[in-house]
Amino acid sequence: MENSRFIVSSSPHIRAGETTQRVMLDVILALMPALLAGILYFGFKALTVTIVAVVFAVAAEAAMQKLMKRPVTINDLSAAVTGVLLAFNLPVTAPLWMVAIGSIFAIVIAKQCFGGLGYNFINPALAARAMLLASWPVRMTNWVTPGADAVSTATPLALVKEGIQYAQGVPAAAGGEAAGQVLPSLTQLFMGSIGGCIGETSALALLLGGAYLMYRGVISYRIPASYIGTVAVLALLFGKFDFYLMVYHLVSGGLFLGAFFMATDYSTSPMTAKGQIIMGIGCGLLTAVIRFFGGYPEGVSYSILLMNIATPLIDRYTMPKKFGEVKKSA
Amino acid sequence: MNIRTLTFKGGTHPPHSKKATEMHAVERTLEPKLVIIPMQQHIGAPCEPIVKAGDEVKLGQKIGEAKGFVSVPVHSSVSGRVVSVEPRLYTGGTVVTCVVIESDMQNTVHPDIAPKGDIENLTADEIKTIIKDAGIVGMGGAAFPTHVKLAPPPDKKVDTVILNGAECEPYLTADHRLMLESPEDVVDGLKALMKALGVKKGFIGIEVNKPDAIEVIYNAAKGIEGIEVVALKTKYPQGAEKQLIYACTGREVPSGGLPADAGVVVNNVGTAAAVAKAIKTGMPLVERIVTITGAGVKTPKNLMVKIGTSFREVVEQCGGLNGQVGKIVAGGPMMGITQFSLDVPVIKGTSGILILSEQEARLPKPSNCIRCGKCIDVCPINLMPINISANALLDRFEQAEGLHAMDCIECGSCSFVCPAKRPLVDSIRVAKREILARRKKAQSK
């Protein structure tokens, strides 16, 4: 049957099946192993925190868009991703009202106020974490040991900072405030049965998710590899070539969560290939400096936030050399 | 067969969608009763019609005289009587002067048409004259007059001819079938082009998704000195001139320059075959192979179609339209031009008629750029499409120019991959046009 009118448009006339929604769904799927690990280690409260964070993030996005008379785009799932990531950056002991405030801050202030998806200049989940940490420092660092008989603990990196000693995987007792506490083993760190934020403890689960994202082409290896690589080199250097300490730094403190899921956030990381490597190296450098020389045991979230701010500049100065720019053959 | 597989940096992988027609041998269309032959089928100055209503014309008779160097004559594809010389809609989307001829169904050949002799015995200048007089243009779609490519400025040292058999546009199989069915014409055409340019090196580049064509052409070119068949990675836009030159020779055409600046002249395999035919038979370019395909057509086919046959007639010979049709595209889906109507003629550059269903043709709704950077990864020119586009959409054309908008080859890879369905190449096209207009204005001041 012939239409009276055909669609006339500019080429191309076919589009790839990839959509924003599919990209975001992939990120959510990639975060699921870490969520399962979080529930396994910290109980169902971990799931509750995550759900509350997602619900408030999505609701805040819809409400804000309604308020600004813009099309409501919660179907693109980007607000849900922010919710999950925020929950992953909170201790399981976080009160739910605080989680809700974090979600609202992430979406309303960090994302929608700057124009919404793609226009925010800092990672909304990390911005919210920083805000919460500044506002409720005690509640935000109330770590517990995994398991049913959860007791107060410190994160492995905090223990390292306080001078807890170890020798080839066998932690030794030490003096200082944290006396009596022992350092978790590398296996514990890798599996995630340690104190820390809901989604940051299991290096294994995060690695699985990161591999999935790379397989799906959602992220490239550039930021995670250069980030983790830089931390490895600097930890070795700053730690006086203590190989064990280097591995310890890699699998703890949310480095994998940051490297695979936070530093790769599209809106706030460079788009150029060279820029992404600079982003990774910059994050790695800042993380290592904060961890070794700063007053703060974990440096991942602040280093990413700092590099977020540098992103527009990085993009500008790493514009790829265009094809045919080299020589003018006579 | 020991050949290299080459490619360029960037690019994307749209679904091939070639299965429907790649195994279908080229069939002849039925003799059209009426042909509409536009006087402008090429890039350059339009032709002046040299016949008027009521005139009798023969097959192969010149009916439009080229005006200017960048122009080629147009010939009648039938014998019969001129009905009218009038403005008609053509595939370029505008109205141009067309000669409308009613066929007498006899196909009486014009008496001047005779074989031109052996390529070996012709001089370079004779070959160029034959090509120009036969009205031969780039058959890949752009329809740039071939004889102009064969006359590079004297300061450019051309040493290589490349034939483009990549056919990287999805859906299209016209070049594929041509290579399978007339490999000698392709190779002889290349020989003629090399002789016309006085070069010793010729490449025929074919994507590896056409292994049969690679084999057939390889065998046809075996033993001919200087001709190399090159297997190209299947990737869009492998057949883009600059990308093809890079893949075959490793040379980059300088920004803003011509292939001749890299010492290369590129022609489509279809163009080469047309050159060989013009030399062997003396018949000018009056017909071509067209792939008629897409979900919107009942029986997709490759057809040998006389220039001037209407899309409607061609589609009817493929069983007619199928279901609700959304888009009619002259050419392939990545760079083809959509049509207002089926009542437009097939012209020298019509490599395909792609008919998309209403669902396929639905325009996607753009959303916010998520800065995934995929457009940057796929751009074969290493541009940042999203940045050019963002500036273009705000009418900031100077910034767009600073981001090298003018280097864009409009392949559409960026728009294709964009998950947010941004109108990337569309807005870059707008920027290019605006920048050119401003340059012209500045010059005339």
Please check whether residues A218 and A136 belong to one and the same domain: no
Does the residue A205 lie in any domain? yes
Q: Residues 418 to 437 of B: which have CB under 8 A from any A CB?
A: 418-421, 423, 425-426, 429
Give the SS3 label for residue A156: helix
Query: B288 CA to chain A: closest CA distance, Å?
Result: 23
DSSP letters of A20-61? HHHHHHHHHHHHHHHHHHHHHHH-HHHHHHHHHHHHHHHHHH
Instruction: Show residues of chain A in contact with B155, CB under 8 Å.
Output: 330
Q: Which residue among A8, A270, A324 sits closest to B254, beta carbon to beta carbon? A: A324
Measured distance CA(A43)–CA(B278) in Å, rounded:
80
Inform me whether the C-beta atom of residue B402 falls under 8 Å from chain A C-beta atoms: no
Strand-pair category, B56-57 with B80-89: antiparallel
Does the residue A236 lie in any domain? yes
Q: Specify the length of chain A in residues.
A: 330
Query: A117 CA to chain B: closest CA distance, Å?
Result: 6
Mean pLDDT of A174-200: 72
In this prediction, residue B1 carries a pLDDT of 53
pLDDT higher than threshold 50 for residue A329: no
CA-based torsion, B187, B193, B195, B201: positive or negative: negative
pLDDT higher than threshold 70 for residue A107: yes
A293 CB neighbour count, 10 Å cutoff: 9
Q: Which residue among A267, A320, A329 sits closest to B382, beta carbon to beta carbon? A: A320
Please check whether residues A297 and A161 belong to one and the same domain: yes
Q: Which residue has the tokens 């752009």?
A: B142
In this prediction, residue A4 carries a pLDDT of 62
Please check whether residues A133 and A189 belong to one and the same domain: no
Strand-pair category, B325-330 with B337-338: antiparallel
Q: Which residue among B362, B404, B426 sits closest to A322, beta carbon to beta carbon? A: B404
Tokens of B24: 């279908």
In this prediction, residue A233 carries a pLDDT of 97
Instruction: Show residues of chain B in contact with A118, CB under 8 Å.
Output: 368-371, 420
ipTM score for this prediction: 0.89
Report residue A2's pLDDT band, with 50, 70 and 90 as the boundaries: low
In B, minimum Cα distance to A318 occurs at: B384
Q: Which residue among A13, A270, A330 sits closest to B336, beta carbon to beta carbon? A: A13
Measured distance CA(B19)–CA(B319) in Å, rounded:
18
Q: Which residue has the tokens 């546009």?
A: B169
Query: A235 CA to chain B: closest CA distance, Å?
Result: 30
Please check whether residues A122 and A161 belong to one and the same domain: no
Q: Helices B183-197 and B124-133, interaxial angle, to 10°?
A: 120
Which helix (H) or strand (E) element contains residue B231?
A: strand B227-232
Does the residue A146 lie in any domain? no
Q: Is B93 in contact with A119 (Cβ distance < 8 A)? A: no
Q: Is B407 in contact with A73 (Cβ distance < 8 A)? A: no
Please state which of the ranges A189-203, A296-310, B233-247, B331-345 shows the lowest mean pLDDT: A189-203
Q: Which residue among B328, B333, B382 sits closest to A14, beta carbon to beta carbon? A: B333
B276 CB neighbour count, 10 Å cutoff: 22
Q: Which amino acid is at A194?
A: I
Does the residue A37 lie in any domain? yes
Please check whether residues A311 and A192 belong to one and the same domain: yes
pLDDT higher than threshold 60 for residue A167: no
In this prediction, residue B58 carries a pLDDT of 97
Mean pLDDT by 10 residues, chain B (445 residues): 77 94 94 96 93 96 93 96 96 94 95 92 95 95 92 92 96 97 97 96 96 96 93 95 95 93 96 97 96 96 97 96 94 95 95 95 93 96 96 95 95 97 96 95 85
Q: Which among A11, A18, A72 is the top mutation candidate for probing chain B, defined by the most B β-carbons within 10 Å of its own β-carbon?
A: A11
Q: Which among B89, B382, B429 is the top mutation candidate for probing chain A, defined by the most A β-carbons within 10 Å of its own β-carbon?
A: B382
In A, minimum Cα distance to B362 occurs at: A7
Instruction: Show residues of chain A in contact with B169, CB under 8 Å.
Output: none
Task: At A258, give phi and psi (nearest 5°).
Answer: -65, -45
Q: Which amino acid is at A91?
A: P
In A, minimum Cα distance to B323 occurs at: A1
Tokens of B335: 């760079």
Q: Is A7 in contact with B326 (Cβ distance < 8 A)? A: yes
Q: Which amino acid is at B427?
A: S
In this prediction, residue B141 carries a pLDDT of 80
Q: Which among B156, B169, B376, B403 is the top mutation candidate for probing chain A, defined by the most A β-carbons within 10 Å of its own β-carbon?
A: B376
Residue B389: alpha-carbon gap to chain centroid? 26
| Residues A229, A282 contacting (CB under 8 angstroms) | no
Burial class (CB in 10 A: 0-12, 13-18, 19+), B265: buried
Strand-pair category, B352-357 with B325-330: antiparallel
Query: B12 CA to chain A: closest CA distance, Å?
Result: 10
In this prediction, residue A153 carries a pLDDT of 76
Arithmetic mean of pLDDT over chain A: 89
Does the residue A45 lie in any domain? yes
Instruction: Show residues of chain A in contact with B358, CB under 8 Å.
Output: 3
Please check whether residues A129 and A212 belong to one and the same domain: no
Query: B248 CA to chain A: closest CA distance, Å?
Result: 15
How many domains, in total, are found in chain A?
A: 2
Please check whether residues A160 and A280 belong to one and the same domain: yes
Please check whether residues A162 and A260 belong to one and the same domain: yes
pLDDT higher than threshold 60 for residue A16: yes
Q: Is A11 in contact with B361 (Cβ distance < 8 A)? A: no
Query: B38 CA to chain A: closest CA distance, Å?
Result: 21
Question: Is the bond leading into A91 cis (omega within 30 degrees of zero)?
Answer: no
Own/partner long-range contacts of B357-360 (Cβ < 8 Å, ≥24 apart): B357/B294, B357/B295, B357/B296, B357/B322, B357/B323, B357/B324, B357/B325, B357/B326, B358/A3, B358/B323, B358/B324, B358/B325, B358/B326, B359/B324, B359/B326, B360/A14, B360/B294, B360/B295, B360/B326, B360/B327
In this prediction, residue A181 carries a pLDDT of 59
More confident residue, A84 or B142: A84
Measured distance CA(B65)–CA(B233) in Å, rounded:
41
Q: Is A117 in contact with B367 (Cβ distance < 8 A)? A: yes
Residue B152 carries which DSSP code? -
For chain B, domains (ranges, CATH) are: 5-16+114-281 (3.40.50.11540), 374-444 (no CATH)
| Residues B406, B256 contacting (CB under 8 angstroms) | yes
In A, minimum Cα distance to B315 occurs at: A2
Does the residue A323 lie in any domain? no
Q: Residue A57 sits in which domain range?
A: 20-140
Please check whether residues A214 and A302 belong to one and the same domain: yes
Measured distance CA(A195)–CA(A245) in Å, rounded:
18
Q: Which residues contact B239 (CB under 8 A, 6 or more apart)?
A: B140, B164, B166, B167, B168, B169, B205, B207
End-to-end CA distance of chain B: 59
Please check whether residues A210 and A268 belong to one and the same domain: yes
Q: Considering only CA atoms, which of A313, A318, A298 is closest in space to residue A126?
A: A298
Please check whether residues A96 and A213 belong to one and the same domain: no
Q: Which residue among B323, B361, B370 sits closest to A7, beta carbon to beta carbon? A: B361
Measured distance CA(A329)–CA(B193) in Å, rounded:
23
Tokens of B167: 């056919």
Tokens of A123: 């990672």
Q: Is B337 in contact with A1 (Cβ distance < 8 A)? A: no
Inform me whether the C-beta atom of residue B181 falls under 8 Å from chain A C-beta atoms: no
Query: B253 CA to chain A: closest CA distance, Å?
Result: 5
Query: B380 CA to chain A: closest CA distance, Å?
Result: 7
pLDDT higher than threshold 80 for residue A93: yes
Strand-pair category, B5-6 with B227-232: parallel
Measured distance CA(A280)–CA(A210) in Å, rounded:
15
Does the residue A227 lie in any domain? yes
Strand-pair category, B227-232 with B201-207: parallel
Query: A322 CA to chain B: closest CA distance, Å?
Result: 5
Does the residue A274 lie in any domain? yes
Query: B321 CA to chain A: closest CA distance, Å?
Result: 6
Inform me whether the C-beta atom of residue B217 falls under 8 Å from chain A C-beta atoms: no
Give the SS3 label for residue B112: coil
In this prediction, residue A164 carries a pLDDT of 59
DSSP letters of B244-284? HHHHHH-PPPPTT--GGGGTEEEEEHHHHHHHHHHHHH---
Instruction: Show residues of chain A in contact with B249, CB under 8 Å.
Output: none
Please check whether residues A187 and A313 belong to one and the same domain: yes
Q: Is A323 in contact with B407 (Cβ distance < 8 A)? A: yes
Instruction: Show residues of chain A in contact with B354, CB under 8 Å.
Output: 13
